[in-house]
Structure 1
Amino acid sequence: MVDIKCENKTISDIIFQLRKEKNLTYANLEEFTGVSLPTIHKIESGVTKRPEFKTVKAIATAFPDFYKEIMECYITIENRIDTLYEVLQDVVSYEEHISLVPKVALRLLENPNCETEESLKRLYDFTERVDDPSLRLEIYKLIVRYSRQHGTTTFVAKGLLQKYLIERSDLKRLEQTFQSGLEIIHYTDFLSDEEKVTYFFRIGLHAHNTKKYRECIEFCGNGMVLEKNESELKARAHLSMINSYSALKNYDKVEELLDVFEKYEYDFVNEAAKHTRAITKARKGEYEIAVPLLEENLRMFSPQSRLYIVDELFEIYLKIDNLDACSKLLERENEIMNTYPDDPNVCRAKGKYYRHKGHYQLTIGVIDEGVKSYASSLQYLNKINAFEEKDACMREFFYCLTKNSIILNKELMDIIYIMAYNVND
């Protein structure tokens, strides 16, 4: 194979070598590429030193093994901004050419025909329209690096925000992406009010999902001050503050915020408010009030809410040793568990459900199934690296074994070991 690298080579060199390697005439090349024979001859002979992009693309497409090398050579000789954006639009369309994306983007930023800030703005606007999140992420990383090097703080801030909004969706790296998101705090003065609101609410929700309840309250509170209009994101941030106060056992504040939360006019609000009021009663140990409320919610609420209600009821029934009620909850498992796509809250809720199920099964002597339920709990918690919940699950598992005088065989212990230590996903 011809060694094609763009160092010290031109597109004319590449065409010549490709033609010789594949034993092609100009006529053959015209047939393969759709580019006219005279045009090919002029490029190869060096008469045309900067061919049109449509011509280069046709040749590169005809020889896909050399697409990357041809484009790398082309962007070194092309200075027209609009043409370079054509190249960028083309390379983002091919997953196999992802490595070209930052190279073309950097060429655009370094182009002498455009001021730095103007170049950054145009590339930033272009990136917002790229469909593939991984490609957007690569370009935003480049924007941040280039902006730092050139002291353009506004686009450091904007790039960091967009980078964070993509990275935070990785369920396995919630803690790492939260920490990286904190850097944006130092750049909020360079964000628009709308961007600040998005940042504070999103990182507030992220804080809640990583059980940083005080940080959740602080960040969402900052967003509430800035956001004067109603939005679903604002309502969800409000709910995360309520849930954070509940986790911190500040139930008076929970009930105070619920009075405000109930005024939002979104579909999820009514159920969430009723559910939270019932949970608050349960957390205060007022089971005689909480259980009827939760049981009514289970009958009346949409399928999307039932998993969380079941988790609460399961926990109460186990505390008050109502095993018959636990059994009736399990009869609804298929109806409840098949409703939800996995996100951090759902993974945590499913982990809790299977932990309660395992507790019940070990208590009634269904050992094999109980172990498998605890393993399922650990599996869901592994998805979000919920180490604290995994520790609680293991402590409860061994407590149940001891309480019920259960000795497991090696096969069952191996199941738990594999899931507890994430040996095999």
Structure 2
Amino acid sequence: MIEQYIGIEDRADVLFTILNESVEKNNLSIITKVAMKALQSPVEDSLELVEKFYDKIDHINNPSIRLTLYKVMIEYSRAHGIMPYLAKGMLQSYLIGVMYYKFSVHAYNLCLFKDSVDMGINALNETITETRMRANTIFAICNSYYERDDFSKLRSTYESGKGILFFKEFLTSEEQFLENYEQTKEYLEKYKEFSLPEVEDNVKGILRMEINF
């Protein structure tokens, strides 16, 4: 219903109201469509629209929604040559990526391994390019996947369940060894690509844990 309505609505104020309602419902797909349509309103100046849009994002607390809206703003500003807001959008997107990185490492240090994985993947999805930051994010994810499991318990679980066709469904949510183990190896391989002084020792540490398992 909303998608059909925004297809025929051109008034920016109405579209911004719909955007507010969509933000409350946390539907990123609808939020993106409404935001794009609001910025394309033919009844207001492009620069004024982007200014209003940027101010509106600043009052949203959810970082995932803010990031989604900044991406819309970046795309629109780039297409219309609105360079100040292109720069502002890119800066804010970068800062959110850094926030995810810091939360990932901090969560790992607090032994909140699921949170570390979730935040780390969010950081990588935001294309963090600073070498050490990206390496540390990948290493935190790698370690978190490893630490989430009691491997001695998982070995017995695996041995008793490996003949079952739907083995993944056989495991409890806290015992999905195969998935976590494979993801640990996947991120370890990514981490090994960095030519940083600490990488070699960190990789050896993970490999020693793997041998002990």
- Aligned CA distance change for structure 1 residues 413 and 131 (closer, same or farther; 3 Å): same
- Aligned CA distance change for structure 1 residues 107 and 390 (closer, same or farther; 3 Å): same
1:348-359 matched pairs, under 5 angstroms: none
Correspondence for 2:90 among 142, 160, 169? 160
1:147 aligns to 2:77 (yes or no)? yes
Which residue in the other structure is 2:20 paired with?
89
Contact between 1:168 and 1:177, CA under 8 Å: does it hold in 2?
no
Deviation at 1:75, TM superposition (A): 1.4
Correspondence for 1:123 among 42, 53, 75? 53
Q: Match for 1:83: what amino acid?
A: V
Contact between 1:84 and 1:104, CA under 8 Å: does it hold in 2?
yes
- Aligned CA distance change for structure 1 residues 94 and 396 (closer, same or farther; 3 Å): closer
- Aligned CA distance change for structure 1 residues 176 and 392 (closer, same or farther; 3 Å): farther
CA distance in 2 between counterparts of 1:397 and 1:139 reads 38
Deviation at 1:153, TM superposition (A): 0.8
1:413 aligns to 2:202 (yes or no)? no
Which residue in the other structure is 1:79 paired with?
10
CA distance in 1 between counterparts of 2:125 and 2:30 reads 30
SS class of match (2:24) = coil
Contact between 1:144 and 1:156, CA under 8 Å: does it hold in 2?
yes
Q: Match for 1:413: what amino acid?
A: I
Deviation at 1:74, TM superposition (A): 1.3
Tell which has more relative contact order, 1 or 2 (C-alpha 8 A, sep 6+).
2
CA distance in 1 between counterparts of 2:134 and 2:88 reads 24
CA distance in 2 between counterparts of 1:170 and 1:80 reads 35
Deviation at 1:393, TM superposition (A): 3.3
Identity %: 29
Contact between 1:140 and 1:163, CA under 8 Å: does it hold in 2?
yes
Gaps of 5+ in 1: 1-69, 180-205, 212-342, 352-377, 399-407, 416-425
Deviations, residues 94-141 of structure 1 (Å, cap 9, x unaligned): 13x220111111111111111010011101110111121111111111
1:4-403 matched pairs, under 5 angstroms: 70-95=1-26, 97-171=27-101, 172=120, 173=123, 177-179=127-129, 209=133, 385=191, 388=196, 389-395=198-204
CA distance in 2 between counterparts of 1:132 and 1:81 reads 23
Deviation at 1:413, TM superposition (A): 1.5
Alignment length (residue pairs):
149
CA distance in 2 between counterparts of 1:207 and 1:396 reads 21
Name the larger-Rg structure.
1
Deviation at 1:149, TM superposition (A): 0.8
SS class of match (1:92) = helix
CA distance in 1 between counterparts of 2:53 and 2:97 reads 20
Q: Match for 2:90: what amino acid?
A: L
Deviations, residues 20-47 of structure 1 (Å, cap 9, x unaligned): xxxxxxxxxxxxxxxxxxxxxxxxxxxx
Normalized against structure 2, the TM-score is what? 0.55
Which stretches of structure 1, 4 residues or longer, exceed 4 Å deviation after superposition?
A: 173-176, 206-211, 384-388, 394-398
Q: Match for 2:29: what amino acid?
A: S
- Aligned CA distance change for structure 1 residues 104 and 412 (closer, same or farther; 3 Å): closer
SS class of match (1:123) = helix
CA distance in 1 between counterparts of 2:19 and 2:132 reads 38
Deviation at 1:390, TM superposition (A): 4.5
CA distance in 1 between counterparts of 2:43 and 2:63 reads 29
Deviation at 1:174, TM superposition (A): 6.0
CA distance in 2 between counterparts of 1:85 and 1:397 reads 50
Contact between 2:10 and 2:41, CA under 8 Å: does it hold in 1?
yes
Deviation at 1:391, TM superposition (A): 2.1
Deviations, residues 239-260 of structure 1 (Å, cap 9, x unaligned): xxxxxxxxxxxxxxxxxxxxxx
- Aligned CA distance change for structure 1 residues 391 and 94 (closer, same or farther; 3 Å): same
SS class of match (1:147) = helix
SS class of match (1:79) = coil
Deviation at 1:77, TM superposition (A): 2.5
- Aligned CA distance change for structure 1 residues 168 and 81 (closer, same or farther; 3 Å): same
Q: Match for 1:145: what amino acid?
A: E
Gaps of 5+ in 2: 102-119, 145-183
